[in-house]
Structure 1
Amino acid sequence: MLITPLPGTLDGAVDRLALCELHSDVPFDDDGTASITLHCVLSGKVRAVVDGLPPHSLPKGCAMLLPAGKALRLVAERGRGAAARRTPVRVLIGNVSVTASVALGLGDTLRQPMLHDLHAAPGAEALLAALEVELERPGTGTVLVASALMKLFLVHAARKLAQGETHSDPRVAKVVSAVLTDPGSPHSIASLAELIGMSRATFIRHFMRATGMNPMQFVAKARLDHAAELLRSTDLPVKSVAARIGYLNRSHFSRAFRRAHGMDPSQFRSAQAGEPAPRIVEDVEAP
């Protein structure tokens, strides 16, 4: 049996998911975020205006990938008839993580809004239908279905955008792939530079030019994104999650996770499951 590792799991590719239900007289306005955002129309029809340019009409099943810093207004478009007026206009919105943006080369190539239809992504239509059912009675699995749908859109949109190229710099792409495939490995600037046959200084310069990040900042972000995905989708104890991403000390992991995600790992897991947040006692180092 031959098992070939895939180049990056895209764990946590789209995070901070939010469901926006639009009403005809109340638009959704966003002045632009520091990250690429993905907007997927789950039901109804939406008019999207980006930076005051002519509007795009987005029907159900259409996704829009929006570059960082672009101002956006979403307005519900209501059809005629009672049935059209009763149909909720829902848009699922998520931030594309830095690791996913770098891995897919989006930061290099995405300059204008990109529209993508679900029919171009096999399986997306079934996920969309499943998510519609989930939204009527949200539960523990709702976030997982929503996340799967957004990941699928993101990957296909990135393939279309890049036309088969995974990254503008193949050497940087090789490093990104190695980190995302196994974020818990003891990566260092020296080991990553050796992977692509560069000196430390040359590697840092190439990596920062391609990604805008220091290599070890990228490794830390990839580890904590992967940790969030493990907390969201598994029942592994927090200590085991920490060990999988390369943290031997749980309290060090908890502090790093809190800085990255705004809450303790246990609180994060409860929030993702829609449960009351546990009371957290601050971790204390063993003497």
Structure 2
Amino acid sequence: MTANNHDRLLATIAVHLHSASICTIGQGWRLSFAPFEAVTVHHVLAGTGIVQVGNASPLPYSPGSVIVVPPRQGHVVGDPRPEARQVDAEDHCGAFADGLAAFTAGDGPGTVLLCGSIPAPHGRALGLFDLLTKAAVETPADEVGRGVFDLMRAEIALPGLGTAAMTEALMKACLVALLRGRLRREDHGAPSAALPGDPRLARAVLAVLENPGASHTVASLADKAGMSRASFADHFARVLGSGPMEFVQSVRLRAAARLLGTTDLPLKVVAAAVGYADPSSLSRAFRGTYGTDPTTYRSLAVHAWPEPLEAGLDGPSCANTARRTPAKPPT
């Protein structure tokens, strides 16, 4: 896979984080997180322990690890010992600083996490992290990724005005560094290191993500994958959870939402850019997914990378929970 292909693939990554929070978990404690309609990401600033997703085998973590949990999967983080006390995160939520939420279990030295979520409003249809089906614990391999953790620790140690914006930017940088490291593992071949299942599917997915406005068909995508049309359609649906053309439409609508929210391009230009024959075709599809027409959506645009207007808060947060003891910063 060439460096140019790496750059093009990285350009498709939707790393828009929500619900930044700090979690502190003392020795002898575990925090339990309910399933979220988003990819949940924990950056381990201090401590060692395990993360267990559902009934899967526990995965160990250490300082500098990034824990990635797919959508709709509850998980437990903290001390692996059987006698450890487990509590629900939503019942131990408070305020940290500058609008950050804080989840606390126990006290004293232990695990400190900087957490966020990557919205997945279209299921596993868009975004490389959205395509993950199993939890992962990884460590950025390059100096940039490792250096970001030092900056995170420094920011959390002295929180104040701008901490929320700074930590969000640092988490994004860390995730891009992590994905870049995955894509540079040449022994995995073309982008199967970042996408699940058969690398042939990855070629088709990459073609759509890079150029959603192209004239994609099941036949053309099957050709990219080097598979028969029937085999490709069946395998695509089993691995990615939607048909090939459903995937194409969700990518096109996401691209349209971004253009509407970040440019003043005429609707006719937006429609053509993302693969629709005319504004009316785009408007019908857009309304079906986003609940409003493109013009109204543009006037209400409040996200740098928009999601459907009906999407709610879908990650670790203190929404609808009582304020409790705030978390302590790492030392």
Counterpart of 1:114 (choices 136, 161, 164) is 136
Provide closer, same or farther for how the CA distance between residues 270 and 142 of structure 1 changes in structure 2, counting only shifts above 3 A. farther
Measure, in 1, the Cα distance between the counterparts of 2:152 and 2:128.
26
- Structure 1 residue aligned with 2:22: 21
- 2:139 is aligned with what amino acid? D
Unaligned runs of 5+ in 1: 278-287
Provide closer, same or farther for how the CA distance between residues 39 and 102 of structure 1 changes in structure 2, counting only shifts above 3 A. closer
Tell me whether 1:123 sits opposite 2:181 in the alignment.
Answer: no
Does the 8 A contact of 1:106 with 1:158 survive in 2? no
Measure, in 1, the Cα distance between the counterparts of 2:161 and 2:8.
36
Measure, in 1, the Cα distance between the counterparts of 2:300 and 2:31.
27
- Structure 2 residue aligned with 1:284: none
Tell me whether 1:156 sits opposite 2:192 in the alignment.
Answer: no
Provide closer, same or farther for how the CA distance between residues 258 and 188 of structure 1 changes in structure 2, counting only shifts above 3 A. same
Cα offset for 1:177?
2.0
Counterpart of 1:72 (choices 69, 75, 78) is 75
Which sits farther off after the overlay, 42-51 or 184-193?
A: 42-51
- Structure 2 residue aligned with 1:283: none
Cα offset for 1:92?
2.5
Cα offset for 1:45?
4.9
Counterpart of 2:66 (choices 58, 63, 68) is 63
Which sits farther off after the overlay, 258-267 or 205-214?
A: 258-267
Output one character per residue of 1:57-102: Cα deviation in whole Å (capped at 9) or x when no partner: 543x42112245532134657885xxx79x9853223256533349
Matches within 5 A, 1:257-272: 257=286, 259-260=288-289, 265-266=297-298, 269-272=301-304
- 2:302 is aligned with what amino acid? S
- The TM-score, its normalising length taken from structure 2, stands at 0.57
Measure, in 1, the Cα distance between the counterparts of 2:264 and 2:231.
39
Does the 8 A contact of 1:190 with 1:200 survive in 2? yes
- Structure 1 residue aligned with 2:97: none
Measure, in 1, the Cα distance between the counterparts of 2:166 and 2:173.
11
Counterpart of 2:211 (choices 182, 193, 215) is 182
Q: What SS does the aligned partner of 2:126 have? A: helix
- Structure number with higher helix proportion: 1
Cα offset for 1:121?
3.4
Measure, in 1, the Cα distance between the counterparts of 2:12 and 2:146.
22
Cα offset for 1:219?
0.8
- The TM-score, its normalising length taken from structure 1, stands at 0.63
Q: Say what the alpha-carbon RMSD is for the aligned residues.
A: 4.8
- Structure 2 residue aligned with 1:220: 249
Measure, in 2, the Cα distance between the counterparts of 1:171 and 1:74.
35
Unaligned runs of 5+ in 2: 79-103, 310-331
Does the 8 A contact of 2:42 with 2:113 survive in 1? no
Cα offset for 1:174?
2.3
- Structure 2 residue aligned with 1:147: 172
Does the 8 A contact of 2:37 with 2:119 survive in 1? no
- Structure 2 residue aligned with 1:98: 125
Tell me whether 1:244 sits opposite 2:273 in the alignment.
Answer: yes
Tell me whether 1:40 sits opposite 2:62 in the alignment.
Answer: no
Provide closer, same or farther for how the CA distance between residues 49 and 196 of structure 1 changes in structure 2, counting only shifts above 3 A. closer
Which sits farther off after the overlay, 205-214 or 142-151?
A: 142-151
- 1:73 is aligned with what amino acid? V
Does the 8 A contact of 2:258 with 2:304 survive in 1? no
Tell me whether 1:169 sits opposite 2:191 in the alignment.
Answer: no
- 1:93 is aligned with what amino acid? S
Cα offset for 1:41?
1.9
Cα offset for 1:213?
2.0
Cα offset for 1:255?
5.7
Does the 8 A contact of 2:9 with 2:206 survive in 1? yes
Give percent identity, aligned residues only: 25
Q: What SS does the aligned partner of 2:127 have? A: helix
Tell me whether 1:11 sits opposite 2:22 in the alignment.
Answer: no
Tell me whether 1:31 sits opposite 2:34 in the alignment.
Answer: yes
- 2:162 is aligned with what amino acid? R
